[in-house]
Structures are given as C-alpha cells and as structure tokens.
Amino acid sequence: MRVGSEYLRFLVEHRRLLGFGLLAAALSGFGQTFFVSLFSEPIREAFGLGHGGFGLVYGGATLASAAAVIWLGRVLDRVDLRLFAAATLLGLAAGAALLGVAGHVALLLLALFLLRLCGQGLMTHMAFSSMARYFDSRRGRALGLAALGLPTAEALLPSSAVALMALLHWQQVWLAVAAALVLAGLPALLALLRGHGERRRRIERLADEAPAGSGWRRRDVLRDRRLWRYLPAAVAVPVAVTFLFFHQVHIAEVRGWPLTLMASSFTGFAAAHVTGLLLGGPWVDRISARRALPLALLPITGGLALAAVVAEAWVVPAYMALTGLSAGLSAPAINALWAELYGIHNLGGIRALAHAAMALATALSPPLTGGLIDWGVPVSGVIGGLALLVVASAGLARAARGG
C-alpha cells in the first residue's frame, strides 16, 4: 500500500514530465517494427518486392538509422528538449507523409529511414534520456513509467491501423498518421514540456557544480572497460526477444505448437512486461542499476532454458511470460545505467552509442539465427545457445561492478 501511495504522489508531482516521457515512447510506435510490419504486404505489392527484397530495404534503413542516431543523439545534450522534441516529431511525420506518397523504391527507403530514425531511434532516445537526465533519486521509477508507453502503443496502434486499412488505402493511412502527429502529437508534447526552461537551468546548475570527472566525454566512455562489460547485458533481452518473435512460426512448426497458442501467449508477455516495468523502477532506485541489470536477466534465462528442453505446449506461455518479465525489469536498469555510470553531462551522446549497439544487435539477430537454422542447427540448440549467451552477459555485467 505504501509503495502504491508513493507512486501516486510521484505521478502527481511530476505528471507533465512523466507524461512527456510516456507519450514520446508511445509515439515511437509509428516507427517500430510491430507497426510498420502491418503494411509489409501492400508495400511489397506496390513496389514489386519479395520478402527478401523488402527485408533488405527495411534492414538497410534500420542500420542507417542506427548509425545516424550515434551522431544525432548527442544533439540532445546541446539543445533545448522542446526544440529536439519538435524536430524529432516533425521528422517522424515527414517519414509517414513520404511513405504515404512514395512511388519509387528510393523514396520508400528514405521514408523507412526517417520512420526508423525519428520513431524507433530518436523518439525513444529522447523519452528515456530525458527521464534519466531530469530525475535522480527516482530515476528508475521515471524510466519504468515512461517505458509503459511502448506496450501502450503495442496495444493500441496495430488494431487502429487494421481498422483504418479496412476503410482507406494503405498510403492514405500513413498520410493520416502524418496529420495526426503534426496536429495532435506535436501540441501535446510541447504542452507537457511547459515550464521546462527552468527545469533545464536547474539541472545545468547542478551539473556545473558536480565534482570534476562526474561527467564523462563519449570518447572516454569508449575506452572504459565497464561499457564493454555492460553492453552485452544491455542488448541480451532485445536480441533474444527478436529471435523468439521473428522465428516464432518456424519454432511452432518444429515443435508442433498451434499458432493460436503462440498468438495468445503474447497477452502473458505483455502483462509480464508491464508488471516488470512497474516493479523494476523502484527496484533500480533501491539497489542501483548496476546491481539490478544482471539480476533482471534471470527470468529470461529460465524461460529460454525451458523452451530449449521442453517440447510440450504448456511451455509457450511460461517462457513468454518469463521473457516479458525480464524485458520489463531490465528496461529501467538499462536506461538508468548510463547516467549512473557516466553522469548526465553528455548523457544523450553516451546513450546514443548504447542505442546504436542495441539496434545493430537486433538487426543481426534474425539473419544470424536464421543461418544457424538453415545450416541444420536444431531450434533447441539455438535457444539453448541464446540462454548461455544471456548467462555470460549477466556474468560480465556482474563482474563490471568491480571494475
């Protein structure tokens, strides 16, 4: 009861900034794979692309956006959050509008690049970097609450898109998305940042008064061994989730599981994900992100181990729920970790590096694991190998606490 009342007071006191983080995370959904993939079939038909061709275009746009985030993400350290938010949202709207009128593959590539850069990339980067920068003692809570925007988008946007596609041409849907972002999304984000100037000046004063060495430069971070020990743990859950989702049809076929069971298990994943986010924030505040991150990988390790050795159908909702729990618990820890380790002076640039590493790892996960399957490695072996990689990542993160 006391934890619930603390959450409520925290929400009321910081409702605008927390609302900004949650809304920014939710708006990133328009550039996330779960939303864009809903249009894959009409896109392939319109541009004469096969599955592999569209995958190549989409993968190229994703990798290019990850590289761009490394450079553009650091701008968040130098400009006002309101300006960054407006530019990012307008870029996302431009990508949606361009996809709505694109008639050539080159324009499709540019549209997907803008959607991935400004949606999946900069919008989430802005949401989580701002929470980590402007909250200190309750950083974990703020990050966990803002991250609820992602499952909110996953719950609302796909069904809305499907309903619109029943009424409109698929490109008209994207034009409607662009209009909604400009007419509703932009005013809402800026309204939630009202009074942000004073908050920014206060944080800048605190940063200037911080002891020397408390804020790291990005080139110094790249030479820090702790970064490379924590990064595998930071990308472990996204990589494993990408594999499980991307190859779910093949896994179901090999194991003889009905696809309806796989689909229904996403409910358990989502519920566990939200539970993990709500619990993970206060947990990070209590024990620190450095201690929480390796522990947050325990549920997914158990889930992968179960999926590797058990072929019965009951294991599907079990490993999906355990995976969702780790996704929720680890998100506040990952996003709080970089501020905890390296300060907030250059947090945007530092977190952009971590985001690019995650994007690269998740982009490589489907082809690498797919190659193993094509080479005859059984599904149980691939899943077991992922479990071992997660264990090794947690071990590296635990060791980094001493180094």
Domain ranges within the chain, ordered by starting residue: 16-209, 214-403
Contact residues for 42 (Cβ-Cβ < 8 A; gap 6+): 170
User: Tens place of pLDDT for every residue, the chain, 403 residues?
Assistant: 455 667 677 777 778 999 999 999 999 999 988 888 888 889 989 999 887 787 788 888 888 998 899 889 889 888 889 999 999 999 999 999 999 999 999 999 999 999 999 998 999 999 999 998 888 778 888 898 899 998 888 888 888 888 999 999 999 999 999 999 999 999 999 999 987 766 666 655 555 555 544 568 888 888 899 999 999 999 999 889 888 877 777 888 889 988 788 878 888 888 999 999 989 988 998 999 999 999 999 999 999 999 999 989 999 999 999 999 999 999 999 988 998 888 888 888 888 888 888 888 877 787 788 788 888 889 899 999 999 999 999 999 998 875 4
DSSP for 50-66, please give it: -HHHHHHHHHHHHHHHH
User: Are the folds of 16-209 and 214-403 the same?
Assistant: yes
Architecture of domain 16-209: Up-down Bundle (1.20)
CA atoms 195, 196, 200, 206: torsion sign: positive
Rounded CA-CA distance 371/91 in Å is 35
293 in Cβ contact with 287 (< 8 Å): no
CATH topology classification for 214-403:
Growth Hormone; Chain: A; (1.20.1250)
* Cα of 93 vs its chain's centroid, Å: 19
pTM of full prediction above 0.85: no
Residue type, 34: F
